[in-house]
Amino acid sequence: MSYLDRIKECNEYREDDKIPFLLDGKRVGQIAKRYKDYFLKSNIFILENNTFTLIKRLKTFDERTEALKKFAQEVFKDKISNMYMNELYPVIESFTSKPLAYVDRSISSLLGLMSFGQHLNAYVMTESGMKMWIARRAYDRGYEAGKLDHMVAGGLAYDVKPSDNLEKECYEEAGMRAELAKRAKPVGFVTYKYDYTLGGKEDILYCYDIKLDESFTPHCTDGEVEEFYLMPIEEVANIVRTTNEFKVNCNLVIIDFLVRHGYLKPEDKDYIDIVNGLRI
């Protein structure tokens, strides 16, 4: 296995089993063909020219948002999704376009929507070298339970400022006070396109670095994390390269960190393909 294998795994996506989802003639997502009948029974989706769209009477932003809210609640009621999250994600054509509606995060994969998240690389410089705080996801999580994860990571709702959301996630997942969280530095993003259980979508993850003192020890306040480990960066890199222990998208963010901090060099095998692969 290799870093390039991790990148390829994070971009396992098929187009041929999807039906495009359009709004106002703009492609905003894609829906897995296995859910075709379910969508048609919803009374808000119609199929036109082999593409899904919303029924004609849903013309305004608010009308579409309200209809999609009720649809998300029905999806949860019918046990297709395992939760209703009450977090707003945008229905957009591209990351620079204005949203055409809001939907609950719980159905973003089902609709194949472009989605956003934030991952924080928390590292410590010790006498023996750089170490990184790694979390193990709680075993009762609905997605990738028990997998290794970043100390702080989460989805980014459309109606929340990235800086505010990161502070919230830092407190909830690591018990980090706001003054400390503000030291996190935005360092770019990675992107990938992946087939989740409910459907395939493109994800954009904003990446952050924070250098912590050895005196800091994270503690989870919201039940998301089972335990934390302070690992030598070489051990983290080896786990990414040789195993599937990390939640799949964490691999991309950590590989990006290794590139930016010089642990992966131009002399290394597949360097150009690795760097190119971090952003589709």
143 pLDDT exceeds 80? no
Element containing residue 276 per DSSP (H, E): helix 271-277
Antiparallel, parallel or unpaired: β 152-155 and 115-126: antiparallel
pLDDT (average), residues 148-153: 97
pLDDT (average), residues 116-125: 97
Only one residue has tokens 């250098």, namely: 211
Q: What is the pTM of this model?
A: 0.93
At residue 98, the pLDDT reads 92
pLDDT (average), residues 88-99: 91
At residue 142, the pLDDT reads 67
Contact 192, 114 (CB under 8 A): no
For the chain, the straight-line distance linking the first and the last C-alpha, in angstroms and rounded, comes to 21
At residue 159, the pLDDT reads 83
106 pLDDT exceeds 90? yes
CA 38 to chain centroid, in Å, comes to 25
User: What residues contact residue 208 under an 8 Å CB cut-off, 6+ apart?
Assistant: 118, 119, 120, 121, 166, 184, 185, 186, 187
Q: Where are the domains of the chain?
A: 3-11+115-277, 18-111
Where would I find the beta strands (DSSP E) of 55-214?
A: 88-90, 102-104, 115-126, 129-137, 148-150, 152-155, 185-195, 200-212
Pick the CATH number of 18-111 from 3.30.750.160, 3.40.390.10, 3.40.50.1820, 3.40.50.2300: 3.30.750.160
Euclidean distance between CA atoms 154 and 233, whole angstroms: 22
User: What residues contact residue 42 under an 8 Å CB cut-off, 6+ apart?
Assistant: 71, 74
- Which CATH number describes the domain made up of 3-11+115-277? 3.90.79.10
At residue 224, the pLDDT reads 82
DSSP letters, 208-223, are EEEEE-TT-----SSS
pLDDT tens digit string along 198-229?
999 999 999 999 999 999 999 998 888 999 99
Q: Percent of the chain, pLDDT > 70?
A: 100
In this structure, what DSSP letter does residue 262 have?
T
Please indicate whether the domains covering 3-11+115-277 and 18-111 agree at the CATH topology level: no
Amino acid at 3: Y
Instruction: Please report which residue ranges of 130-232 form alpha helices under DSSP H.
Output: 162-174, 178-181
